[in-house]
Structure 1
Amino acid sequence: MSPRTALTPPDEGLAIGFQPSSPAADTRALHQLQRALVPGERPSLGLPDHLEQVMAELAPLLGLFTDQQGGPYDDTRFDDGARAYEKAVLAYFAALAGVCLDEAHGYVAASPREALLHGLVLARRGLPEPSVYISEQAHYDVVRACELLGMNTVRVLALGDGTMDPGDLRLQVRMRRGAGALVVATCGTPLHGAIDSVTELRAAAAAFGPVHIHVDASAGGMAAAHTDLVAPWSLAHGAHSITLSGNPLLGLPVPAGISLVRRVQDPPTNLPITVPDRLAVGARSGLGALLLWTRLRSLGRAGVAAMVARCQDVAAYALATFEAAGVAPERFPGSLTVTFERPARWVVDKWRLHYSGDRARIVTTGPMTYTAVDELAADLSAARQGVAA
């Protein structure tokens, strides 16, 4: 057995025994875990700083059980009322992507990965044997989703700013002309926060046969929708399907993904199911849709726009501050992601930084305030001078 698959014994204190455990002791252990996970004195840049407020809003929903059978548009006698909330959430995200629900349909998935799988499954229905063209800067979830679906993937080079290279895409598609091209564009790459141009990629691939553009906008869609002068990234710009997410900007306590597909991309089938509801799953929870609806209603469209603007201001401030610290920062225009030279291990551990190779990054959501930027910059400067923690 390889080290990766080797099993490690569970903590003896957490083992599930034959007899019931002490509820009081288990509750104390969970409370200790909760305190350890709260950022507190040890910053965690991926967690929102408003979770207490969010939980106060959302706590009543955790006592509900919603078992959704089929999709949000399916007529069923078992509708518990949650579908109306899901439709409201879908209308909001469809507007972000530049369309209305008369032009696209979708559903709220349990995670962005599930939403991505749904988008790729429907794309493959229109292109039965396509190769999937993925940027070398795409999220690992895209690669994994294609593996699960048994789809042939073709890696496409990225430009210096982290976007997919249309020239290399054209070359790769030409080598496989006639089979159809499923191109996965990214709005918010993991390292650079880069936004691929849907119009350029579609033009590059369409020259050699049928093409479907799916956009993985889980990381950057909400920011891009509230940003001027960004690359064409959405359904409004020619994409056929898109994956979005409410995390981490909205700070939900659980993940939730949104899958939207143009109705014309989902042709009829002989299967005994309605067109909009060919989901990747059958029965599903309505909790994600209710959480999203509650959070979005509490903010309103103006509140979300103000949140994005604040995060972008912090990102611009981080770029200038890290430049003064001498760590060669970079930021894609409009992005909430700032990359910089990977610092010493003690800085990575202290700030729980994500990194790849010799570059680390922050995303200016949640607790990444101006003060936090200053404190991180001080640590980055100290690390460059060889000062230990």
Structure 2
Amino acid sequence: MSRPRLPILAAALGAAAVLVSPVANATRGLRRSMGADPEGDPRVTGSPQWQGGGFQNRLESHVLPSSGSQGSMAVDFAKKGDIGRPAKPVPLVTPALPEKASDFAATWLGHATVLLELNGHWVLTDPVWSDRVSPSATVGPKRSHPVPMELADLPALSAVLISHDHYDHLDTATIDWLTEYQSMPIVVPLGIGAHLRAWGVPEERIVELDWDESHTVVRPGLSDLVLTCTEARHFSGRGFTRNKTLWSSWVVASGTGEERRSVFFGGDTGYTPAFADIGDQHGPFDLTVLPIGAYDTRWSDIHMNPAEAVQTHLDVHGDLLLPIHWGTFDLAFHSWSAPVEWLVEDAATRDVVLALPRPGERFDRSTAPSAAWWREVAKESRAS
């Protein structure tokens, strides 16, 4: 039976929308979308990562450019135009999902949203179905392509994983839908539980972890699913405060011995040597899911570039690399296709096998797509 589709804010406003000014429209729901501050939570303030009133990376990391470069950024934004968007519609594939999750497969749904299959479990990462990644439904980065499937068509999930609380990774409207129509736990880094509680997620469905902590999902007839929160190099914040919630990468594993299947999900991160330690402790991985887009020398500490994604894949002992965090939202200054072109070039020199699916295209190790489909869509096909 079909479930109700995710409501679009503009439609929900209905006829009353014409009576509301554009400014009021843009600010409607802002306070709720910003979530809540985990102030006073002893697990948050007691974390080894909490220092000086907020979470900190283990390596010194500059989040924003220096004051001297902010002017150049403003000029770049003013003149960038639509270089970060495709010239033609992005080709989508309606996912052909099996009735039951396989031992190992993945479906990229755009940006950092990936539907994973491990030993019968369905796991969804950083689910974002909204049209904009912003506290506002009318202002902020807009999709370059639709989500290739409806929320109502998702299978019964074993878990949802969140890497951090930025709007392009933690989407209020999507969490609302998943809370009402699914029953899986939402597994998050420390502090993000405050957002979820503010949005009405039941306490028993919220799992908050610090780096190096794990949660096990037990489902009848399936191997246990072990979700381990691991280090990343990034930052957090949805409003005017920063770093009150933790960010992370994730190890997703199920089974033992020859039946073990595992995925390393990078979320959103800069490069860190800690990935080699994660590989030594948790690898090898059947699949690495790593960000390649929204890089810039001015924030290189907290966003990796494609060459660093290849290095991370090697550090964690990955078999197949799925690039994410490109192609869906225009969040930086490079061209739309630059990240994937750079990745393909660098991976070829290091014998790294890539999965390059169109949004919605399901694959496993033997069917990993490799065709350069984006070159029919991009304004240019060379990295900038």
Normalising by structure 2, we get a TM-score of: 0.29
Structure index of larger Rg:
1
Task: Decide which structure has greater helix share.
Answer: 1
Q: Normalization by structure 1: what TM-score?
A: 0.29
